[in-house]
């Protein structure tokens, strides 16, 4: 038995759970592993701290979202030193699995209502006192670098010199400085259909069970909105997207012009990052399933690059992706 498994079994034993009672479930694109406990509404999260995972961060954001009145898993037990959490199991009604033409409107409407609720709660609360890091330009650039490191250089074999890399980074900063995003919201960063679970026994916004939020930062409300409405896993129609945007603006009364501008920036940045992450998953982690979504990510990027504020980025991408 490997050392990690042995530590896990000690955690299970402490909570009166036998190893034979747990079943591994499909993991996400991180280093976390999850187990479902047979006969109980409980999951075990295995988040190795040596691989950069933090159960403390999960606990912190979980408490904030609970205070917001949202449906997030309750924590039954936590081992911060070794990176284990025993938490409530929301079941298997994941949006990505149950979405259909029949329920699409209602499910997305409720998800938009959740984001609007987070918007208002963020404005009315003291979330910055929770020592949550701000989604700074430095973080955004470091994320976007993954694009050229793993997609351009590793996946398609383009060799970039230092000047090209610095140019790419400076373009991102220039656009960021131009639009000046409003960094005053709690941003969950992974608010998409794989991380939303339908809770049929709940009411209104509580019908949406939210998972995978430990990487939350303080940033722009446009980010999570883009994550949902321009999801590479499940692109939605333009008609539905426009209707949901209208609903969000009505619920928040936010500046629509600024919102759209920020959404475009975060869509380009986020999808460049996604292309890089999915390439890294393939070459570093042996997970090539996500490569099927690359075309969707490129579609979103190309749409927004038509905006004149991205003219330099458009030129840079076309110049350095000649193999595509």
**Complete domains list, the chain, with CATH:** 3-88 (3.30.200.20), 95-320 (3.90.1200.10)
Question: What is the reported pLDDT for 221?
Answer: 96
Neighbours of 96 (CB within 10 A): 14
CB 146 within 8 A of CB 280: yes
CB 179 within 8 A of CB 310: no
Distance of alpha carbon 58 from alpha carbon 62, whole angstroms: 6
What is the chain's mean pLDDT, rounded?
92
In this prediction, residue 129 has a pLDDT band, given cuts at 50, 70 and 90, of low
In this prediction, residue 127 has a pLDDT band, given cuts at 50, 70 and 90, of confident
Most confident of 54-58, 61-65, 285-289: 61-65
Query: 74-87 pLDDT, tens per residue?
Result: 999 999 999 999 99
Angle between helices 137-146 and 162-179 (to 10 degrees): 140
């Amino acid at each position: 038995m490997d050392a990690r498994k042995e530590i896990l079994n000690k955690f299970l034993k402490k909570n009166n759970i036998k190893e034979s009672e747990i079943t591994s479930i499909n993991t996400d694109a991180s280093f976390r592993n999850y187990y479902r406990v047979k006969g109980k509404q409980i999951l075990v999260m295995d988040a190795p701290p040596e691989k950069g995972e933090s159960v403390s961060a999960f606990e912190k954001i979980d408490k904030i979202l609970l205070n917001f009145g949202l449906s997030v898993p309750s924590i039954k037990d936590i081992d911060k030193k070794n990176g284990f959490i025993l938490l409530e199991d929301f079941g298997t009604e994941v949006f990505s699995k149950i979405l259909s033409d029949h329920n699409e409107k209602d499910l997305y409407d409720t998800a938009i209502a959740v984001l609007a609720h987070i918007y208002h709660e963020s404005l009315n609360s003291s979330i910055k006192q929770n020592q949550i890091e701000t989604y700074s330009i430095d973080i955004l650039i470091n994320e976007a670098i993954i694009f050229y490191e793993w997609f351009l250089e590793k996946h398609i074999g383009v060799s970039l010199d230092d000047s090209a890399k610095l140019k790419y980074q400076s373009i991102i900063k220039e656009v960021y400085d131009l639009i000046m995003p409003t960094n005053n919201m709690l941003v969950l960063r992974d608010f998409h259909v794989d991380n939303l679970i339908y809770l049929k026994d709940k009411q209104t916004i509580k019908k949406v069970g939210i998972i995978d939020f430990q990487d939350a930062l303080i940033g722009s409300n446009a980010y999570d909105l883009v994550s949902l409405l321009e999801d590479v896993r499940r692109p939605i129609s333009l008609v539905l997207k426009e209707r949901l945007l209208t609903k969000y603006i009505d619920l928040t009364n936010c500046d629509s012009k600024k919102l759209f501008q920020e959404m475009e920036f975060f869509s380009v940045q986020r999808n460049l990052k996604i292309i890089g992450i999915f390439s890294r998953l393939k070459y570093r982690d042996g997970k090539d399933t996500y490569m099927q979504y690359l075309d969707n990510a490129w579609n979103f990027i190309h749409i927004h690059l038509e905006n004149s504020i991205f003219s330099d980025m458009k030129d840079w991408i076309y110049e350095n992706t000649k193999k595509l």
